[in-house]
Amino acid sequence: MTAQTACEECDHLIDKAVADDGEAVHCPRCHHHISVVHRSPVLAPIAYASAAIMMLIASLMYSFMSFASAGHSATMNFAQTVRSLITYGYNELALLLFVTLVVFPLSFLLIICYLHSAMLLNKKPPGAKACLLMLQHSKHWLMVDVFLIGILVSLVKVMGMADVTFGLSFWAFCLFTILLVKTTIVTDLPWLWRQLVSPMDDVEVTDKERSAYANNFQLCHYCGHLNGLDVATCPRCHHHTHARKDPNLDRVLAFLLASMVLYIPANILPIMDTSLLGGSDPATIMGGVILLWQLKSYPVAMVIFIASVMVPLAKMVAIAWLAYSVKSSRNFEPQKQLKLYRLTEFVGRWSMIDVFVVAILAALIRIDGLIVIYPGPATVSFAGVVILTMISAMSFDPRLIWDDSHSKENHRS
């Protein structure tokens, strides 16, 4: 019997590593997407990525929004959002915004254009392996869509106190977000590995119904190549191999504990301070939710409460539960555990909405002598909670859920 790859979420052996054009390959056991290839796998990514780059440039050149109140006005653009954070001494948050909203998305799109353009010209691009690894690492940190929702939440908060006008950059950013999401959908990394590096070879397995590990193979998480358990470096992508990411869960629990520690000041300290006519009105996350509820902005209050309070807490509980289920000797249903893991990974970055809302309001509402909004100390703590829980979830290996008790003992030894 032969196989080409294994599922990265349940370690089930897969016959076919890469889909044909216009088709998809899924894991028959957990239904994870192994490879989904667009009908036009070369031209479609180039078209969407090129359009997204143009919209990104346009969104950086003009104003996002204009704010007018009591005869005073202010204008916000992306550069001003970053500068306002630096002005208030929040250099880390300014760097976070710049990296997740400009550096990573732009690098992601340029690499896609570079690789697919080379294929269009029937050339092998230099540095293809490094580029593919960069795509693999950066895709988790693209927060453009989260920032767009943050803008919309900010609008609801501002519209009650002033007139808001949308600038060209706002509409360009909306198109940029849509095009970036579409680019990620039509780009298939396993297909790129096959086209630019090498196709997958069939490997002989003794029992196809058992996992790759049970057949003495380990999956490379970056290129999908099956390697023997004694192989330390993947020969296809030259990345370090491991049977499981963190078999003892030390890294998972360390980042989880750190996020729990930061969660306390994130909710106790003020996340935003509003200076109105010389008076100061600091607000915590829950204080902002209560204020929005009192103003009858029920949908926005619910969004902030769910994204900023419930999601981080639920994610920490979920990661702790997954770690417990792996460590304990009790038998849990792996399908349900995997669904919990997927949900935990998906919702994690959306908690960054509150951080983006504070950054946007601090840049937009700056009318000296009338009203100024300052970021609060909880902003840094809250951003730390989001990042640490994301890293903790990424460090968790869902294949541990499916391991039988004998495999668990082998991994932990």
Cβ pair 193, 132 in contact under 8 A: yes
pLDDT means over runs of 10, the chain (413 residues): 85 88 88 90 95 94 76 74 80 87 94 94 90 89 88 72 79 94 93 89 82 88 88 88 84 93 89 66 75 71 78 89 83 85 84 81 66 79 90 90 57 42
Angle between the N-to-C axes of helices 91-98 and 353-364, in degrees from 0 to 180, rounded to the nearest 10? 110
Q: What is the pLDDT of residue 406?
A: 42
Query: Do residues 32 and 10 make contact, with C-beta atoms less than 8 angstroms apart?
Result: yes
Give 27's DSSP letter: -
Cα distance between the two ends of the chain: 30
Backbone torsions φ then ψ of 407, nearest 5 degrees: -65, -40
pTM of the model: 0.84
Domain ranges in the chain? 244-413
Q: What is the pLDDT of residue 408?
A: 45
Domain 244-413 = CATH 1.20.140: yes
**Residue from 72, 80, 66, 71 nearest 165 by CA:** 66
